[in-house]
Structure 1
Amino acid sequence: MKKLYMSALLLSSTAILYAQEVIWQKDIKSSTQDFLSQVTTTVDQQYLITGSSIQATGKTAVSSVASKQKDASKGGSDIWLIRINEFGDELWQKTIGTPQDEEARSVIQTADFGFMVAGNVQNSANGFGSKDVTVTRLDKNGKVLSELILGGRGLDEVEKMIPTPDGGALLGVYSRSSAFVGSGRMEAGSSTINYQPKTTNNFGEGDYWVIKLTKDNKVEWEKNFGGKGDDHLRTMVFTSSGYIIGGESRSERSGNKTVGIEEGTDVWLISLNTKGDEQWQKSYNFKNRDILMGMNVINKSQDKREKNQDLTKGILLGGYTQAEGRIETDDETFWMIYIDNNGNEQWRKHVKGESRKKEERLSDLKMNKDGSIVLAGTSAEELGKENWKIVKLGDSQIDQLIEKQNIKIYPNPVSDYAYVEIGFDFIEADIILYDMGGRQLQSLKTKNKVTKINTQNLIQGAYLIVIKTDTEKTANAKLIKK
């Protein structure tokens, strides 16, 4: 199997290439055609790997992961979910689908520790267009709770979904679709599926379609952004001032696009407040076809936050530039940009990637709270046998951007369970819970960076968590019980 060199190169430069450390690597092999789309870090620092499994209609999926079998195929291509712990061990997997073709695109964890999975479905019998957006809600064990289908009269492809502070979600869709007007479909649909037609029209060939969902999985508002050309939304992040929507654009200034392009496609960012109103637009160019693959928000530490000041320190963008119309040995160049919360570029760097002839594709990148990076992609030994590859890296330059805290507690305030995250290195630590009168209530030993504690028996009020390690380091923080 070929190694996913492009993933490592995306987040390094020649100067710091040897500063990266592979912490662990997980290869998920398959005898069928499977494509990885996203890796999601859960609140307890585990991972949910999401992708699509292509099967012949009526056949049973036969791919083996850690000696387990997939669920039976639902028909065509299905959504495939695998949950692994922080050490790369599999916990469970789930196949979701219908007789039509589905593909997974984005996953978030909900406040109840379940998941919302966003994907696409082609030519759904009760849908809106040639491709619609699906949002499926699951509990923490993978049980399906509800489903939402959105679309217009054409092709709509969801690219990203992020959680919102009110418990809802923001969907980012690449839309080549007009608003859906009329009726005469979906009457025979399942009672568990909620159908929501697109109500906004495009400005050009393809637009950014942004949809805000409530915690009940209903549409709160939707907006279209684009020029007269093709604009392809790729990713989104939540910052202290709202949302940043990003992708690539072929449009000159037109429609509601206020920045032009230099060459090929440029990276195009839009900043929105929480109501969907535009705050600013920015464009970045690397020549040729510039593709944005991911954005990660870097926040200021609590002790450096000032009153009425933005909490966001900056945003790290990662992507690649691809030569158009030809395949060359060095036809892909990978890059990173670091910008402030107003979109002003702070620095950028380029690095040459492996040729596309390697048949390896970076799908997602995540920066963890400790400064490490999880990379996910697809590697093919031969056409039709694509395997998933997940690599966790440590990177000294990215690590310098992270303002670490010695102890973090989340959620806080807490109801039943809280997670205690220790920010410094240790082999074994004691976690001690005190009431505000100094009485010890709990004590446990841990070897993990993140430890789950039970707070169900605590009465409402304030408590103190104290950390003591074998390296003689200590830290403490207040915990609030609802």
Structure 2
Amino acid sequence: MKRILPLIILTIIVFVSACNKTNLKPEQKDFFIKLFGSSSLDYGVDLKQTNDGYVLLSTTTTVNNGTDILLIKTNEYGNEQWSITYGNTLNDYANSIVVNTDGSYTLLGTKTVDNNSLLEDLFIAKVSNNGDKQWEKQISITNNQIGKCIKQSNDGGYIIVGSTTANNNTDVFLIRTDQAGDTLWTKKFGGIYDDVANDVLQKSDDGFIVIGSTKSFPTLSQNNNVIVLETNANGIISNAPQYSQLEGAEGQNIKALPDGSGYMLTGTMLIGENGKKDVFLAKINSNISNLEWKKDFGGSADDIGNALQITNDNEIAIIGTTESYNDGSKDMFFIKTDNAGNEIVTQTFGGAGIEEGNNICNTLNNGFIIIGSSEVEGNKMICLVKVDELGNLN
């Protein structure tokens, strides 16, 4: 069912970069901060640019304090056009969304199937560009599975990655479906400790590249290490290198460089003996075997890297969350670098509460659109931020 949520323009003080304050004015249309939500706990997870605006995927709290999946379509100025929800009496969580080649949307979520055991299945659904529900599917692999990313494959079907748990052991999974969401094959990868996948992309040869984290390889560890998997079109792993420079790191997002020279990775890594966390950016070569360089970004407290985008001129934009450069408890953390990982600018967005940056997209005017959450008067709301090419609001 479609429903319209209250839209609030954020008028509280927003801190940008080194304590530069920016108040949002009503006439600011091209660059803005907007909030969506009507309950105590709503947060944005993923977003995509469309030909006439943006589609936002979020998790929202229901009236009975459960959670549902919420899909919001906005115009180019962030004004809501329609919204729909998916959910029942148990908890449902949003994970990832893709814009299909026909302009429709397919979303990935995680659905609680048993409130007593808290078992979870994958949930995928297709929605027309007008917000009409077309189909939905539920997928189970083992006792418990959590979806992280869905992409449309070269043949119009889908590739899904995440983690699946059975007998207290968590493994990476890859699932290929057809255009109707029906499973074609499922592959699992992992050792005796926990291994998870967070992002996937398809190569021109129809194989796949998966990024995640592992505690099983190269040796058993209490800390995570970045893992990158390369498979053929049938999900058979052909390469799974580990990178010594990324020990103690979690891989969250991967993008292919337009010139074909390799891939950019981002995530979070432990720094020093005290376990402080920094954002990392790394480049691996096209055959994924060699890490060419790695850069860290952060301050004296924990800083988290969640997603990246590559611009038309091969510069890199990263979004995450900072506790080092903040006015409240946490702020959104925007980092832009050149193609060698050298910092161009950093910005933070936040008020007195907790703000988190979860995903980022390029915009048609060469800026960026960011989704996350913002705490306002004790409520956590979906936060949409549109900035220029340097992360400025004006």
Match of 2:107, SS state, is: strand
- Asked whether 1:85 is paired with 2:31, we answer no
Assess if the C-alpha contact under 8 Å between 1:39 and 1:50 holds in 2.
Answer: yes
Q: Which of the numbers 213, 234, 239 marks the counterpart of 2:203? A: 239
Equivalent residues in 2 for 1:7-156 (5 A)? Answer: 24-32=31-39, 33-42=41-50, 44=51, 46-57=53-64, 76-123=66-113, 130-156=119-145
Q: 1:100 to 1:268 in 2, by over 3 A?
A: same
Q: Secondary structure in 2 aligned to 1:299?
A: coil
CA distance in structure 2 between the aligned counterparts of 1:217 and 1:318, rounded to whole angstroms: 29
Task: Give per-residue Cα distances to partners, 1:114-138, cap 9 Å, x unaligned.
Answer: 111110111259xx97111111111
Secondary structure of residue in 2 paired with 1:123: strand
State the 1:284 CA deviation.
3.4
Distance 1:79 1:4, change over 3 A: farther
2:341 aligned partner: none
**Amino acid corresponding to residue 237 of structure 1 in structure 2:** L
Distance 1:362 1:324 in 2: 24
Contact 2:121 2:138 in 1 (8 A): yes
Residues 14-41 of structure 1, C-alpha deviation per residue, up to 9 Å, x if partnerless?
xxxxxxxx97233214342101111122
Check the 8 A contact 2:208/2:231 in 1, yes or no.
Answer: yes
Corresponding position of 2:5:
none
* Residues 263, 285 of structure 1: 8 Å contact kept: no
1:266 maps to what in 2?
225
Distance 1:339 1:286, change over 3 A: closer
Question: What corresponds to 1:160 in structure 2?
Answer: 149
Q: 1:227 aligns with which of 187, 191, 196?
A: 191
TM-score (norm: length of structure 2) = 0.71
Instruction: Name the residue aligned to 2:173.
Output: 209
Q: Could you say which residue in structure 2 is the equivalent of 1:385?
A: 380
Counterpart CA distance in 1 for 2:70 and 2:84 is 6
User: Structure 1 residues 50, 324: CA separation in 2 closer, same or farther (over 3 Å shift)?
Assistant: farther
Aligned partners of 1:4 and 1:389 also within 8 Å: no
Unaligned regions of 5+ residues in structure 2, if any?
1-11, 19-28, 304-321, 331-353
CA distance in 2, matches of 1:260, 1:382: 46
Shift of 1:90: 2.6
Aligned mates of 1:321, 1:89 — CA distance in 2: 36
User: Does structure 2 retain, via aligned residues, the 8 Å contact 1:23–1:394?
Assistant: no
Of 355, 365, 380, which residue of structure 2 is paired with 1:360?
355
Deviations 1:233-268 (A, max 9, x none): 11111222421111111113xxxxxx4477721111
Q: Which amino acid aligns with 1:338?
A: K
Shift of 1:377: 1.9
Which letter does structure 1 place at the counterpart of 2:291? E
In the TM superposition, what is the alpha-carbon distance from 1:151 to its structure 2 partner? 1.3
Partner of 2:263: 315
Aligned equivalents of 1:142, 1:374: Cα separation in 2: 21
CA RMSD, 1 decimal = 3.2
Q: What percentage of aligned pairs have identical amino acids?
A: 19
Q: Distance in 2 between matches of 1:362 and 1:207?
A: 27
Give the Cα–Cα distance (whole angstroms) in 2 for the partners of residues 117 and 166 of structure 1.
18
Question: 8 Å contact 1:373–1:394 — kept in the other structure?
Answer: yes
The separation in 1 between residues aligned to 2:253 and 2:225, in whole angstroms, is 15
Match of 1:278 among 220, 237, 256: 237
Q: 2:257 & 2:249 partners in 1: Cα distance?
A: 23
For residue 321 of structure 1, report the CA deviation from its aligned partner.
Answer: 2.3
Letter aligned with residue 35 of structure 1: Y
Q: 1:355 to 1:369 in 2, by over 3 A?
A: same
The structure 2 residue matched to 1:299, chosen from 250, 258, 276, is 258
Q: Who is 2:279 aligned against? A: 334
Q: Which amino acid aligns with 1:316?
A: M
Per-residue Cα deviation, 1:83-135 (whole angstroms, up to 9, x for no partner):
1233333322222222221111011122321111110111259xx97111111
Tell me if the contact between 2:96 and 2:150 (Cα under 8 Å) persists in the aligned partners: yes
Determine the C-alpha separation between the residues in 1 that align with 2:246 and 2:14: 27
- What is residue 470 of structure 1 aligned with on the other side? none
2:160 pairs with 167, 171, 179, which one? 171
Contact 2:355–2:375 (CA under 8 A) maintained in structure 1: yes
Q: Which position in structure 1 is the counterpart of 2:216?
A: 251
Shift of 1:80: 0.9
Determine the C-alpha separation between the residues in 1 that align with 2:376 and 2:277.
20
Equivalent position SS for 2:267: strand
Please state which structure has a larger fraction of its residues in strand: 2
Structure 1 residues 165 and 98 mapped into 2: Cα distance closer, same or farther (>3 Å)? same
Give ranges in structure 1 of 5+ residues lacking alignment.
Answer: 10-21, 58-74, 179-203, 253-258, 301-311, 397-482
Q: Counterpart in 1 of 2:292?
A: 346
